[in-house]
Structure 1
């Protein structure tokens, strides 16, 4: 490894530092602590909504900020408060849903808000009960009634890459479309809002340039961030598009790939 030492580490969570069993290893917790002890900044950059951050923040013992909902929310982990949001306007949500219903009738929709989410009664997460995660089944009038940090569209069987390409063709001029779960679940943010846009905004406020950032990820929703950062790593289990884009690769999430790199940076 070169003499480069990042001023800021930006890491995705699920599939990157979170293992397949949903935990974060002791080794990774210790490696993340090294970042801040060295005087660098650690930012978790995730597709998760803020309400899903409490457990992970406690597990890694991190006090600082997280970028949530693929860039739509800046969240203070210490105070558990939303610092700012970039939301999709209600009229845009309605327009996107109607266009996607025409293009892919099998899709079912949900809208994330900072404090919960609305979903169609037919929105089925399989083994996950949407109500257990703060969800509320609503009609269209309510679904379209207020702005949201993320619009979700679920297909029961579609290939996520093909589905995303179809959605971009239909509504890519209205929202930013991506996916991260390995199944037919589209994640849509306000136009131009990505993990990269939020990270760049935060770094600009801190006087940190992209060349001073090392970023880690595994799925297509990480691609803007990985492209923006001066140094980028894909874990071995990453999506092929990620592995083809990053400047470096490391071991898988289950083999503490991020920790291995952080230990070298901050030895």
Structure 2
């Protein structure tokens, strides 16, 4: 059974001599020790940030044993695993990561949590901008996301009606995601404008079933592009945050908060709300099932999510950089 893990600098010429052999003899008296030896040249990746659906998660949009084991292995090396998602994440545990300490850049970068699930940074919408949006579209069911949960201006039926524009397969997938929805906090329907504005709203989601109303909302957002940005993972959705708020900027903020350079960050994504993140970082990877835009933004394409391409790539990166050696 492994009882210790040690990071060592890159091996020098003297390590091949008797001195290094003697040190191995000494530590090998313990049942098993894992040595992580860094390769020379270039910074090590210390923070792995990944989108969830279509990227880190499997084909069923959830965590399985392969993903969980990879998360444990990544964190065990001292590296950080960050969930960079449009979802509202209260706790990584609720998404299936059990007791693994994982940071979250949730709600398209507007809410950042540490490995214990505590909020360390928010980027809220301007209340005046939010009020104007709701007044301008009183018949749209807005899902207004705060750090503690979602406050929805319509009824549950209004909210579900927005999914009718999806194709059959997409509706089945989205229904499954909603049924397995974890970590999103409380959800309150039929909220008045005053009730919504009483909370720190960081992101607004909505689906519009009327083509004319959809065009009006897109035109409104285009007119307010100096204050609001729409970056949906699905073209039939709206995911609205304050301008300048996105996964890429928030992953960079978190890296700096943890003391890492952007060159020590690797990011993974597959779709529209990942583009800024994929374009920003040197070490960027898109899944094979991702959009053409995501692949161009990343520059490097790995395998599909349903073959666990992302967790496998993360582990390969760690092995390549740290030269894992197990001494029995």
Question: Shorter-chain TM-score: what band?
Answer: 0.7 to 0.9
Q: Deviations over 1:192-234 (max 9, x none)?
A: 1111111111111222121221100111111111112111011
Q: TM-score, normalised by structure 1?
A: 0.83
Q: TM-score, normalised by structure 2?
A: 0.69
Deviation at 1:89, TM superposition (A): 2.3
Q: Deviations over 1:215-259 (max 9, x none)?
A: 001111111111121110111111221012112111111110102
Structure 2 residue aligned with 1:266: 318
**Contact 1:163–1:184 (8 Å) recurs in 2:** no
Match of 1:173 among 202, 226, 229: 226
Q: Deviations over 1:160-211 (max 9, x none)?
A: xx9996564133222121101x252211112211111111111112221212
Structure 1 residue aligned with 2:309: 257
Deviation at 1:28, TM superposition (A): 2.4
Structure 2 residue aligned with 1:109: 142
1:221 aligns with 2:277: no
Structure 1 residue aligned with 2:208: 155
Task: In structure 2, list runs of 5 or more residues that go unmatched.
Answer: 1-39, 164-174, 320-328
**Contact 1:215–1:225 (8 Å) recurs in 2:** yes
Match of 1:87 among 124, 146, 150: 124
Residues in 1 aligned to 2:240 and 2:224: alpha-carbon distance in whole angstroms: 10
Residues in 2 aligned to 1:34 and 1:3: alpha-carbon distance in whole angstroms: 23
Task: In structure 1, list runs of 5 or more residues that go unmatched.
Answer: none
1:76 aligns with 2:114: yes
Partner of 1:266: helix, strand, or coil?
helix
Deviation at 1:35, TM superposition (A): 2.1
Q: Decide which moves more: 115-124 or 82-91.
A: 115-124
Structure 2 residue aligned with 1:192: 244
**Contact 2:59–2:305 (8 Å) recurs in 1:** yes
Partner of 1:137: helix, strand, or coil?
coil
Q: 1:168 to 1:141 in 2, by over 3 A?
A: same
Larger Rg: 2
Q: 1:52 to 1:151 in 2, by over 3 A?
A: farther
Aligned residues: 257
Structure 1 residue aligned with 2:74: 35
Partner of 2:97: helix, strand, or coil?
helix
Runs of 4+ in 1 over 3 A off after TM superposition: 2-5, 51-54, 126-130, 143-147, 162-168
Residues in 2 aligned to 1:59 and 1:232: alpha-carbon distance in whole angstroms: 23
Partner of 2:268: helix, strand, or coil?
strand
Query: Considering only aligned residues, what root-mean-square deviation do their CA atoms show, in Å?
Result: 3.0
Q: 1:61 to 1:145 in 2, by over 3 A?
A: closer
